[in-house]
Amino acid sequence: MSIYAPDHADALAELRAAGAAVTFTLSSPGTYDPETGLYSSPVTSTVSGYALRTKGDPLEYERLTLTETVAPTLLFAPSTFGGTPALDATVSWGGTTYTVKSANPLDPDGTAILWRVVVA
């Protein structure tokens, strides 16, 4: 167990109180079989937690060629310590469905406490 698990629990509690529940969902068609030309059963993975819109990093927006007015940055704490929002996952925020363009962790020992997620 990480020594940062209590920090994650604190961050999650604060975002639960001040933010909104969100779920990042990533779907894939399954594994492609070149012999049959078909995919196996579709796979869907989810990461749930709480998020709060926060000020974005101007350099990250420049790198992604996005603007903050149309691509919010969410401060996200997963419900399960170590949960990771995947690139290209979708999330509903403020009634709009967005796609994850960037996910940067705060992970002092390799397991993320929080994420800064840019969605567009």
Cα pseudo-dihedral 32, 34, 37, 39, rounded to 10: -10
In the chain, the number of structural domains is 1
Contact 32, 39 (CB under 8 A): yes
Query: In 3D, which of 32, 23, 27 has the Cα closest to residue 88?
Result: 27
Mean pLDDT of 71-91: 97
Structural domain for 32, as ranges: 5-119
Report DSSP state, residue 31: -
| C-beta of residue 113 within 8 angstroms of C-beta of residue 77 | yes
pLDDT range class, residue 98, cuts 50, 70, 90: very high
Going by pLDDT thresholds of 50, 70 and 90, the confidence category of residue 97 is: very high
Residue 29 clears pLDDT 90, i.e. is over it: no
Token pair belonging to 58: 């101007």
CATH number, residue 43: 2.40.10
